[in-house]
Amino acid sequence: MVLIDGKKVSADLQEELSATIRHDRSITGKLPGLTIILVGQDPSSQVYVRNKAKRCKEIGMNSTVIELPDETTLEEILERIALLNADPETHGILVQQPLPPHIDEMSVTLAIDPEKDVDGFHPENIGKMVLGHFESCHISCTAYGILELLGRYGIETSGRHCVIVGRSNIVGKPMANLMLQKLDSANCTVTVCHSASKEIATLTRLADILIVAVGKPGFITAGMVKPGAVVIDVGNNRIGDASTKSGFRYVGDVDFDGVSTVASAITPVPGGVGPMTIAMLMKNTVNSFHRSNGL
């Protein structure tokens, strides 16, 4: 069984991006810039934003975090985004989700210039991805990271059956569309399971490649996996654990101990897909910098 180490792959990718950034600076005298807008005091979001800003600095990118209070209005957020859209030194804009309940997330997404939408959530980027125009769009970071993992581990995907459990706009839907594309790490027959699917275990046992993103700890068990399948666990669930200093630990949507006995390859949680999401955010920002500078 192969452990698909997202932490290592993301570190390798960061080194590659750092070298690219140094080379680009020697030509242009400029650096890629990512601005993150954080609205409110959600503890998890604060941790995610700190990690993203830290990664930017580690690879030599400019990073700015704009922290706004919970009571910030939609109009105030849109004004900030408009300024960033017009700023030539800002190549990526990320508005950390979730947003406070009074903020319409779609209005925020639509306000971001698609060229700077490094999360890959703008309808223009999604549409281009579906149509296969990858040279002019940003791909949703988690789905992009999974594609990168499959490629770097040399996992055969063409013609294989990929079953995706979950249909979220962030993971399930973009992942399904990517795996349909005629790409080196895709070109699959794709099935998508969701909350209304009947006999999910029957469908998951058909998968050569099983990608799970449902937010339910240990949802996929060994009996739901075909022997030899490749299993990608996108889940990141916090559960109580009195044996740890913090009193909790993170687990995936897959029962790792059981499934790892039948899978040919599997991602751990933590250390699998999670680190790749941030790495692909960095890559999208560098790609945006390239396009804005004609590189």
Instruction: Give pTM, 2 decimals.
Output: 0.95
Classified as helix, coil or strand, 189 is strand
Q: What is the mean pLDDT of residues 131-135?
A: 95
Active site residues: 52, 96, 119
The whole-number pLDDT of residue 91 equals 98
CA distance 114 to 288: 10
Determine how β-strand 189-193 pairs with β-strand 209-212.
unpaired
What does each C-alpha distance from 233 to 3, 60, 260 come to in angstroms? 12, 30, 11
Inform me whether the pLDDT recorded for 113 exceeds 90: yes
Domain ranges of the chain: 29-113, 141-274
CA distance 117 to 93: 6
pLDDT in the model for residue 245: 86
Mean of pLDDT values over 193-218: 97
Let me know if the fold of 29-113 is the same as that of 141-274.
yes
Tell me the pLDDT tens digit for each residue of 260-288.
999 999 999 999 999 999 999 999 999 99
Distance CA 170, CA 190 (A): 17
For range 25-30, the mean pLDDT:
97
Q: Which fold has domain 141-274?
A: Rossmann fold (3.40.50)
For 29-113, CATH number out of 3.90.79.10, 3.40.50.10860, 3.30.390.30, 3.30.300.130 equals: 3.40.50.10860
Q: What is the mean pLDDT of the chain?
A: 96
Return the sign of the alpha-carbon dihedral for residues 130, 135, 136, 138: positive
At 29, the pLDDT band (50, 70, 90 cuts) reads: very high
* Nearest-angstrom CA–CA distance, 272 and 270: 6
Strands, sheet with 161-165, edge to edge from the N-terminal-most edge strand? 2-3, 265-266, 230-233, 209-212, 161-165, 189-193
Give the whole-angstrom CA distance, residue 87 versus residue 260. Answer: 48
Mean pLDDT score, 204-220: 98
Q: Render pLDDT for 33-86 as a digit per residue (tens, 0 to 9).
A: 999 999 998 888 898 899 999 999 999 999 999 999 999 999 999 999 999 999
Q: 18 falls in which pLDDT band (50, 70, 90)?
A: very high
Give the mean model confidence (pLDDT) for residues 88-101: 96
Minimum mean pLDDT among 40-44, 66-70, 182-186, 195-199: which range? 40-44
pLDDT of residue 246: 86
